[in-house]
Amino acid sequence: MSYIEIKNITKKFGDIAALEDVSITLEKNKIYGLLGRNGAGKTTLLNLITNKIFPTEGEILVDGDNVIENDKPLSKIYYMTEKNFYPDSMTVKSAFRWGKEFYPDFDINYAEALSEKFLLKTNKKIKSLSTGYKSIFKIIISLSCNAPVILLDEPVLGLDANHRDLFYKELIQSYSENPRTIIISTHLIEEAADIIENAIVLKNGKIIMNDSVESILSKGFCVSGGAAAVDKFIAGKNVLGTDVLGGLKTAYLMEKLDQNSVPEGLEISKLDLQKLFIYMTNS
């Protein structure tokens, strides 16, 4: 069931097209990964969904309602960005109470429980928090607000490995108990790969991939061996890139393969999501 419909969206800043004719349908209660290199258009797309900027062309619907200057669909979305929308002089605990004013389903008890897990002192003022703890504060707000749609733009900025691991676990736990549509924009693809169900890959303002992670991984292969043998095998196939070292060659493919059909002398292995992303967006 579609919940967010992005229809033929183009966004230009002057003569530069940040997004060009982008169309995506996002289903209800699914976790999406929004992937792309810096400048690919990820944040622009999230800003368009939340009506922070207007499209040059196209429209965006949330649960059937156009987001442009319409409070009804926007009330269903929580958008976590690098920016802090709470007054710096406010304490964390006061921010939780304030969150309840904007999101009636905000769970203050859950927010306080998460604060204990992350060792976030709720009597501290927001301006006194480190970069990592500001991210943790915003993560807690995101998970506690219970909005039907949650957009997370680089949510683990400044978090150490332990806190990132805790975030992923809490996200999955929260999602399993209260399914929502979640979009995570991140550069830490290897870490997020086990969480996201669908991957949307942006390159130069265009969608180059929108598929389930399972389907993408089933088509990602690395073939290596003698250069001539590799060239013969990959002829006519969807080759993302190649590396050559002496007489040896490695090719990276995005294609369904029968591994039993690989000629003797060639080695084949699977590619993980991060490597596939790198090869898809390198050129």
**Stretch 246-273: mean pLDDT:** 90
In this structure, the dihedral spanned by the alpha carbons of residues 242, 243, 246 and 247, taken in order and rounded to 10 degrees, is: -30
3-state DSSP call for residue 86? coil
What is the structure's pLDDT at 258? 81
What is the structure's pLDDT at 176? 97
**Among candidate residues 195, 93, 97, the one with its CA nearest the CA of residue 152:** 195
Q: Rounded distance, CA 171 to CA 65, Å?
A: 27
Q: Is the pLDDT of residue 262 over 90?
A: no
Per-residue pLDDT reduced to its tens digit, 18-35: 999 999 999 999 999 999
Contact 85, 61 (CB under 8 A): no
pLDDT category, 101, cuts 50, 70, 90? confident
What is the structure's pLDDT at 83? 81
What is the structure's pLDDT at 1? 60
**Among candidate residues 234, 235, 238, 262, the one with its CA nearest the CA of residue 250:** 234
Q: How far, in whole angstroms, is CA 138 from its chain's centroid?
A: 16
pLDDT category, 283, cuts 50, 70, 90? low
Q: Would you tell me how many other CB atoms lie within 10 Å of the CB of residue 233?
A: 20
Per-residue pLDDT reduced to its tens digit, 196-242: 999 999 999 999 999 999 999 999 999 999 999 999 999 999 999 99
Q: Is the pLDDT of residue 185 over 90?
A: yes
pLDDT category, 261, cuts 50, 70, 90? confident
pLDDT category, 70, cuts 50, 70, 90? confident
What is the structure's pLDDT at 47? 95
Q: Which residue ranges make up each domain of the chain?
A: 4-216, 220-282
3-state DSSP call for residue 141? helix
Per-residue pLDDT reduced to its tens digit, 113-167: 999 999 999 999 999 999 999 999 999 999 999 999 999 999 998 999 999 999 9
Q: Which CATH class, in words, describes the domain spanning 4-216? A: alpha beta
pTM value is 0.92
Between 48-57, 204-213, 252-261, the lowest mean confidence (pLDDT) is in 252-261
The per-residue pLDDT of the chain, averaged, comes to 93
**Stretch 168-188: mean pLDDT:** 96
Q: Rounded distance, CA 270 to CA 121, Å?
A: 44
